[in-house]
A and B are shown apart, each in its own frame.
Chain A
Amino acid sequence: METLDWIEVGAKAGFLVIVLLQVVPMMVWVERRGSALMQNRLGPNRCGPLGLLQSLADVVKFLWKEDPVPGHVEPFYYVLAPLVSVVPAFMTFAVIPFASSIQLGGRTVQFQVADLNVGLLYVFSIASLGVYGIIMAGWASNNKYTMLGSLRSSSQMISYELSMGLSVIGIIMTFSSVKLGDIARQQGQLITQLGPFALPEMLQIPKWGIFVQPLGFLVFLVAVFAETNRLPFDLPEGESEIVAGYHLEYGAMKFALFMMAEYLNMTTASGLLATLYFGGWQLLPGMAWILHGVQDLFGLTGVYAEWARVLFEGTSFSIKVAFFMWLFVWVRWTLPRFRYDQLMDLGWKVMLPLSLGNIFVTAILIYYGWV
């Protein structure tokens, strides 16, 4: 790699890390205010406008709290566990494109840290590492509640990873690529036919994943909720049953790292959902029209027009991600927790057959050339 390549990758990675770090306190605020409003309360509204600075105050508190290591833990793994859960959460976002490419001085700059040719497989392999933080924390804390939490989380991960991986196969088959960049680009095409019939131009909609893979989307959505340990699948934490689950023995910044990992995983999952099923950086309906309006209004040409386009694509992607983040919060404060046997039943008896069936149906449709 040349020096310029290094600079490019470094800049993109730095940008992403900074943005992701800002997402966490924002989401904590959204979660607290959202839950409060849904329960007819007001939530934190004192610190700064609308209580927006509340998370900042929390961060300061977390940083200055005493950070003891309890006497009965395995110190090495106890300290390692929060890091192990945070790092994969950051790593996954590397392959998610947040805008299309731009020509800069003869270079094509992709707005994606790394367009690996294993794309989705990389996402799944890194996502599957996140569970180690939880297992390690639960085991190293040397406490029966944490142990139960980590046991639950490991079996839950294995069960739902399966249907998550299989549900995406449909998308890979439809777009015949595992590169997330390719998948996002191909979703800009239009659906020209419904089954054997050609659609009139008026009814042609973008070929977003959700329109070609509705069942796959559903299975993936549920599996992603389980993978991020969010309600209704938050059995590893299960406050009412096992106190706080795997992070029971943690305090101060180490606990904050677990929280960060949870919200980062949510962000990544939302990014994946947006990229695979909602067209990624493809402009939302109506945004193309506004973009042209803006370009004409300011008389933007050449590279400036391109930057405006990239900005709009980034905004579009952010809106989609924000919607899914909100969905995570919304569902959390609506649904109660599953019982453990229900969780396993859903994972193995419903989701797995559904995702396998989805692959089968998709294969038939592709064979007849209908997708």
Chain B
Amino acid sequence: MLLKKKKSFLQEFYLIEIIKGLMITMKNMLFSPKVTIQFPEERRNYSDRYRGMHYIKATNGVENCTACMLCPTVCPAECIHIEAGERPDKEKYPVKFEIDLLRCCFCGMCEEACPKDAIKLSNIYEMSTTHREVYDKQFLLEQRGNK
């Protein structure tokens, strides 16, 4: 319910209220700490749970991924493309592992589905490019975090 407060004459007159308001803005201008983060020099630190740029975890230089196809299956945006192959030691591995960045919605479902803890989302958030980016396997193998 809208309650109309009874105002005193001075409040109705507004002038003093306006001057009070002006003082508030002046106080903010002169004394308040500024919240701007000056980007290239200062960067905001996101928490480790932030879902940013993808990478595939590797142990001893070999990717953990076994090309089980769980992540392309669970991916709601269908942005992951894997072609499986076989190593000499009969181990299954991804020959091709591509993530279409334009389709990815950074939901993190792949991360949760992965049984081998291979695919991970790092907390790198500067991903703007001037072309349509598709991350390939070589790019994804760079270790961007320690999740």
Contacts and interface: CB of A to CB of B under 8 A. Distances in A.
B26 A330 contact: yes
B34 A330 contact: no
A334 interface: yes
Interface in A29-57: 34, 36-42
Contacts of B38: 42
A334 B29 CA distance: 11
B32 interface: yes
A330 B18 CA distance: 11
Contacts of A333: 25
B29 A38 contact: yes
A34 B28 CA distance: 11
- Which of A37, A39, A334, A335 has the most chain B CB atoms closer than 10 A to its own CB? A334
Contacts of B34: 37, 40-42
A142 B25 CA distance: 39
A19 B72 CA distance: 65
A331 interface: yes
Contact of A334 (B15, B25, B35): B25
A37 B28 CA distance: 7
Contacts of A334: 18, 21-22, 24-25
Interface in B11-38: 15, 18, 21-22, 24-26, 28-30, 32-36, 38
A40 B28 contact: yes
Nearest to A333: B25
Interface of A: 34, 36-42, 218, 330-331, 333-335
Interface in B59-108: none
Main secondary structure of the interface of B (DSSP, over half): helix
A32 B24 CA distance: 18
13 contacts: A36-B36, A37-B29, A37-B30, A38-B25, A38-B26, A40-B32, A40-B35, A42-B36, A330-B22, A330-B26, A331-B22, A333-B25, A334-B18
Contacts of B18: 331, 334-335
A38 B36 contact: no
Nearest to B30: A37
Contacts of B32: 40
Contacts of A38: 25-26, 28-29
B26 to A, nearest CB: 7
Q: Would you list the 4 A-B pairs with minimal beta carbon distance, nearest first?
A: A42-B36, A37-B29, A334-B25, A38-B25
A41 B33 CA distance: 9
Nearest to A332: B25
A338 to B, nearest CB: 11
A61 B90 CA distance: 62
B126 to A, nearest CB: 18
A42 B28 CA distance: 12
B109 to A, nearest CB: 37
Nearest to B17: A335
Contacts of B29: 34, 37-38
A104 B38 CA distance: 54
B63 to A, nearest CB: 42
Given A42-B36, A335-B21, 6 more contacts: A38-B25, A38-B29, A40-B33, A40-B34, A331-B18, A335-B18
A284 to B, nearest CB: 21
A335 B35 CA distance: 22
A333 B24 CA distance: 11
A333 B36 CA distance: 18
Contacts of B24: 334
A37 B15 CA distance: 24
A41 B29 CA distance: 9
A6 to B, nearest CB: 46
